[in-house]
Structures are given as structure tokens and as C-alpha cells.
């Protein structure tokens, strides 16, 4: 499973913003883009969503994927080609995937199908140019498990991406054996209890324990999770809507308060002493080996942990658990990733556009049971059970989506480099106030470039 990173850093965002502005200010942009009506023309079968196995002899489709996702559709492609006669070519776009994809598309190179993070800010640029097919009335929509459809894929009330796997959830992965050794018998039910648990573990002097919590600010990107998870209730109360319209900011009480709380966790000695230089691999190894009790992470952390466990489900279930956490309760914070989102493009070829919809339809219906078995992942469909081999921690993470709230990456109109500023704070080169201001200044610049009101 791919590492769970922030996908929209400033460089990629500036490309996306340029795409959006180009669509708004360059008359040639709309002339070269496919008209919205092209994707609503009758498909081969006369239906917007063709039957999953309708014959497509002679049709060739191109699917773009990242290095982290290019193996994911292999079995689906093979089965679809056998069932329909179509050909699907998977092209790997090198890293930085997001920037390279947007650059290629800006020069006129367009795929039929693409892996893409199904979040508001990452969909916005393509939607503004009418690049994406509207995935209205997806035949499997009512079959999505609770919380899946709300976790991503929509922009301005319309659906432009399908979720093929369970979105990441930011929360707490913990070592059950360390909890037992420290006398922890109940999981925390809110942030205050979470901090109290960390303090109790620190005081217990468990053999081999380095610290109750472990941070990886050397790799920077994971620092944002500790702040994000504290904001779930505020997000439910409209925090990101207020920030998106300039009525609140990263310097406001909610976000700055969460940043200060994160800093206090270091001041209390709850984190590893080398947090400023430690890496993601250090973090996941520390959890598996019992050198730490808890890490604040997303699903991407589980792949390396599973590899350390040699994918032994029993060993994983006996050692690693997951629970969501938020300021006032156990609300998870969802963040859909590029590895779990699929978009389809308006190419100007109605036959290929319909065939791309048919491929997605096949993937999420006839081909889905075999897909989740091949990938050994949690199913996002109620009608398809997850494989028995999926570790319990991942099942618990997916279950928390039913009551989860979207992260900054999901709900903000732009994603500033919060993680970088927080890493600087961990390393002592920024105060919480400076980290908040730098993040807000960048966010305001990006929002203004998009033409957002309030900036």
C-alpha cells in the first residue's frame, strides 16, 4: 500500500491554479476542450453507463497511473479485455505524478482513464476546464458502504471521481503489546484521554520503549496528521467553509489551537527525541518493534508494518490496532488518495468515453470481488465482502469512515504546505504562530489566484 502523503504541495497547486486560470482567461482553452455535451451523448448501447461486459472489439483505452498505483488495475484490465475485446494500455507517469500529469494535460496529452486523488482541490482545475466526465448516476452508488461516497469524488455537487478502495483515515495506530505492558485496558474516547494514555505509558517505563508517541518530521509530510485529527468537530461545524471564504484562517482559534497542542506534546516529552530527523520508515519500525506505543498516521503506514510482519495476519492482529481520535470524541479524519480514486476524461471521442465508463462499471461490479481479493483490501461495496485475510486494523479504519469527517486536503479549496511549516516547528525554526501565519499566507495567495471570494 502506498504511503499516505499530502498530494497537493505548492508546486503542483501552482500548476493546477494555472490550469484553472487558463480555462477562465484564454478563449482558446474552451475551443480546444471537449464540449460538456460530448460525455452525455449516447453510449454504444444507448445508455450512459453501458453494460459491464458489452463487446468493444477494436476499442483501445489509455489509463494513466503513478508508480504507486500502476500495478493496482492489472487483474481488472486483464478480465475486462477478456470479457469485452477492448484493449487497455496502462501508462506509468513518473514522479512527481501530480505535477507531471497536469503538465502533460496542459500540453494536450489526455488519457481516457486516470488514477487521481478525489479531493475538492485536486479535482477543481480539471473541472474548470471541462476535462472530466461527469460520473452521474453511477450504477453502484447505492452499493457503497457507509461513509465512502461522502469521503471524496465530488466537486460543486457533481461527481467526477469514483472510489475503488477505502479512503485513508487519519487516526492512531497502536501497539497492543505495549498497551498491555503499560496497563492500558481501554482505548481513549477523546483527545484528553489520548494524551492521558500517552502520559501513563511514559510513566510505566515499559522495557524497550523509546517514547509513547513517535514522529517522523525528517520526512516532513506526516506532521500534519496530528493537527488534522484535532479539527474533526470544527470541520463538521463548517471550519473549512469559513477558511475557504476568508471568514476564518489558519491563524484562528481552531487551527492555531491544534498547532499549539501539537507543540505541547513535544514539550511534555511524549515524542521521540530525534523526532525532527526521524523518517517514516523509522516510525513504522518503531511501532512494530514496540519502541513506541502509538503513531498518528493514515492507512499508508500499514503497508510497511505488514511487510515487517511478513504479511502474517495473525501477528498483525495480535500486535497492531487502530482507533480514530478527535478533540471531543472518536471521529476519524478521512483523506482519499490517488491510489483509490479514478477519473475519466472528455476526449472528444464518444465511443472511447463510453468505453471508459464501461471499464469503470465493470471494475466496480463484475470485476470488483476479484479485485479486492487480488489486492487484499477492504471492500467499499456492501455487496462484496472484504477478504478474510485483511488485517483487523484496516477493517477498523474503514469502519470509522461511517462517522468520519474530511481532512484539510479533502475540504480546503487549496492545500498549503502545513506539513512543511509543522516540520520546521518540530525542528525549532518556527513557533506555532509563525507556522500558522506562513500556512495562511500561502493559502490566501492560492485562493486569490483561483478567484475565491474573500481574498
Residue 6 has pLDDT above 80, yes or no: no
**Fold of the 60-166+337-404 domain:** D-Maltodextrin-Binding Protein; domain 2 (3.40.190)
Altogether, the residues listed in the chain come to a count of 455
Phi first, then psi: give them for residue 109, nearest 5 degrees.
-90, 115
Cα–Cα distance measured from residue 361 to residue 164, given in angstroms and rounded to the nearest whole number: 11
Can you give the C-alpha Rg of the chain in angstroms? 22
For residue 221, the tally of other CB atoms under 10 A from its CB is: 21
Compute the C-alpha angle 136/343/31, nearest 5°: 85
Residue 445 contacts by C-beta under 8 Å, 6 or more apart in sequence?
A: none
Residue 454 has pLDDT above 50, yes or no: yes
Cβ 184 vs Cβ 200: under 8 Å: yes
Question: Quick one: pLDDT at residue 46?
Answer: 53
Mean pLDDT, range 177-202, rounded to an integer: 98
Task: Please state the pTM of the whole predicted model.
Answer: 0.87
Mean pLDDT, range 385-398, rounded to an integer: 97
Map grid coordinates 503538465 to a residue: 103
Residue 163 has pLDDT above 60, yes or no: yes
Question: Quick one: pLDDT at residue 124?
Answer: 86
pLDDT band at 17 (very low <50, low <70, confident <90, very high): very low
Question: Quick one: pLDDT at residue 120?
Answer: 85
Domain boundaries of the chain, sorted by first residue: 60-166+337-404, 168-335+414-450
pLDDT band at 224 (very low <50, low <70, confident <90, very high): very high
Residue 217 is classified by DSSP as T
C-alpha cell of residue 249? 484562517
Match domain 168-335+414-450 to its CATH number in 3.40.190.10, 3.30.465.10, 3.40.50.300, 3.40.50.720: 3.40.190.10
Share of the chain above pLDDT 90, in %: 86
Cα–Cα distance measured from residue 155 to residue 379, given in angstroms and rounded to the nearest whole number: 24
| pLDDT tens digits, one per residue of 316-347 | 999 999 999 999 999 999 999 999 999 999 99
450 vs 215 pLDDT, higher one: 215
Q: What is the DSSP track for 325-358? A: --SSS---EEE--GGGEEEEB--S-HHHHHHHHH
Compute the C-alpha angle 319/323/324, nearest 5°: 155
| pLDDT tens digits, one per residue of 95-152 | 899 999 999 999 999 999 999 999 988 998 899 899 999 999 999 999 999 999 999 9
Residue 453 has pLDDT above 60, yes or no: yes
Region of poorest pLDDT, from 25-34, 83-92, 296-305: 25-34
Residue 223 CB-half CA count within 13 A: 30
Question: Phi-psi bin for 256: left (phi > 0), alpha (psi -120 to 50), beta?
Answer: alpha
What is the torsional sign of CA 136, 139, 142, 148? negative
Residue 144 is classified by DSSP as B
| pLDDT tens digits, one per residue of 30-78 | 333 333 333 333 344 458 999 999 999 999 999 999 999 999 999 999 9
Cα–Cα distance measured from residue 337 to residue 303, given in angstroms and rounded to the nearest whole number: 14
47 vs 263 pLDDT, higher one: 263
Question: Quick one: pLDDT at residue 450?
Answer: 86
Residue 245 has pLDDT above 90, yes or no: yes
Cα–Cα distance measured from residue 394 to residue 136, given in angstroms and rounded to the nearest whole number: 29
Cα–Cα distance measured from residue 127 to residue 415, given in angstroms and rounded to the nearest whole number: 17
Residue 267 contacts by C-beta under 8 Å, 6 or more apart in sequence?
A: none
In DSSP terms, 211 is beta-bridged to 292
Residue 305 has pLDDT above 80, yes or no: yes
Find the helix or strand (DSSP H, E) in which 435 lies: helix 432-449
pLDDT band at 28 (very low <50, low <70, confident <90, very high): very low
Cα–Cα distance measured from residue 102 to residue 99, given in angstroms and rounded to the nearest whole number: 5
pLDDT band at 20 (very low <50, low <70, confident <90, very high): very low
Cβ 55 vs Cβ 26: under 8 Å: no
Question: Quick one: pLDDT at residue 249?
Answer: 98
Q: 305-314 long-range contacts, Cβ below 8 Å, gap at least 24?
A: 305/173, 306/1, 306/391, 308/284, 313/389, 313/390, 313/391
Residue 236 has pLDDT above 90, yes or no: yes
Q: Which of 252, 291, 268 lies closest to 194, judged by CA? A: 268
Comparing 60-166+337-404 with 168-335+414-450, is the CATH topology the same? yes
Mean pLDDT of the chain: 91
Amino acid at each position: 500500500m502506498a504511503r499516505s502523503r499530502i498530494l497537493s504541495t505548492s508546486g503542483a497547486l501552482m500548476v493546477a491554479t494555472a490550469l484553472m486560470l487558463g480555462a477562465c482567461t484564454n478563449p482558446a482553452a474552451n475551443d480546444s476542450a471537449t464540449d460538456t455535451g460530448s460525455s452525455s451523448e449516447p453510449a454504444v448501447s444507448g445508455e450512459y453507463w453501458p453494460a459491464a461486459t458489452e463487446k468493444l472489439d477494436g476499442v483501445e483505452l489509455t489509463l494513466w497511473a503513478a508508480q504507486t498505483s500502476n500495478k493496482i488495475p492489472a487483474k481488472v484490465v486483464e478480465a475486462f479485455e477478456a470479457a469485452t475485446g477492448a484493449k487497455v494500455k496502462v501508462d506509468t507517469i513518473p514522479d512527481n505524478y501530480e505535477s507531471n500529469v497536469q503538465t502533460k494535460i496542459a500540453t494536450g496529452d489526455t488519457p481516457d482513464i486516470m488514477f487521481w486523488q478525489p479531493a475538492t482541490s485536486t479535482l477543481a482545475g480539471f473541472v474548470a476546464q471541462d476535462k472530466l466526465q461527469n460520473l452521474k448516476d453511477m450504477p453502484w452508488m447505492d452499493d457503497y458502504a457507509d461513509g465512502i461516497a461522502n469521503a471524496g469524488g465530488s466537486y460543486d455537487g457533481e461527481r467526477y471521481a469514483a472510489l475503488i478502495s477505502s479512503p485513508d483515515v487519519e487516526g492512531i495506530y497502536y501497539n497492543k503489546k505495549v498497551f498491555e505492558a503499560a496497563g492500558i485496558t481501554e482505548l481513549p474516547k477523546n483527545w484528553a484521554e489520548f494524551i492521558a494514555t500517552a502520559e501513563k505509558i511514559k510513566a510505566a517505563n515499559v522495557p524497550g520503549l523509546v517514547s509513547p508517541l513517535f514522529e517522523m518530521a525528517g520526512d516532513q509530510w506526516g506532521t500534519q496528521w496530528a493537527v488534522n485529527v484535532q479539527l474533526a468537530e470544527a470541520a463538521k461545524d463548517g471550519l473549512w467553509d469559513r477558511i475557504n471564504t476568508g471568514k476564518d484562517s489558519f491563524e484562528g482559534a481552531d487551527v492555531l489551537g491544534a498547532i499549539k497542542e501539537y507543540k505541547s506534546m513535544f514539550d511534555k516529552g511524549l515524542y521521540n527525541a530525534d523526532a525532527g530527523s526521524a523518517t517514516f520508515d523509522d516510525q513504522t519500525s518503531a511501532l512494530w518493534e514496540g519502541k513506541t506505543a502509538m503513531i498518528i498516521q493514515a492507512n499508508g503506514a500499514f503497508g510497511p508494518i505488514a511487510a515487517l510482519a511478513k504479511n502474517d495476519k495473525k501477528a498483525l492482529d495480535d500486535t497492531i490496532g487502530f482507533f480514530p481520535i478527535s478533540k471531543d470524541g472518536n471521529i476519524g479524519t478521512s483523506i482519499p488518495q490517488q491510489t483509490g480514486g479514478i477519473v475519466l476524461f472528455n476526449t472528444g471521442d464518444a465511443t472511447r468515453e463510453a468505453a471508459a465508463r464501461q471499464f469503470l462499471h465493470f471494475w466496480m461490479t463484475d470485476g470488483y470481488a476479484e479485485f479486492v481479493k487480488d489486492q487484499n483490501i477492504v471492500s467499499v461495496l456492501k455487496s462484496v465482502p472484504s477478504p478474510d485475510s485483511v488485517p483487523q486494523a484496516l477493517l477498523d479504519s474503514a469502519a470509522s469512515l461511517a462517522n468520519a469527517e474530511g481532512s484539510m486536503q479533502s475540504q480546503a479549496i487549496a492545500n498549503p504546505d502545513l506539513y512543511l511549516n509543522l516540520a520546521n516547528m518540530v525542528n525549532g525554526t518556527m513557533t506555532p504562530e509563525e507556522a500558522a501565519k506562513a500556512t495562511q499566507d500561502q493559502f490566501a495567495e492560492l485562493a486569490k489566484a483561483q478567484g475565491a471570494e474573500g481574498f
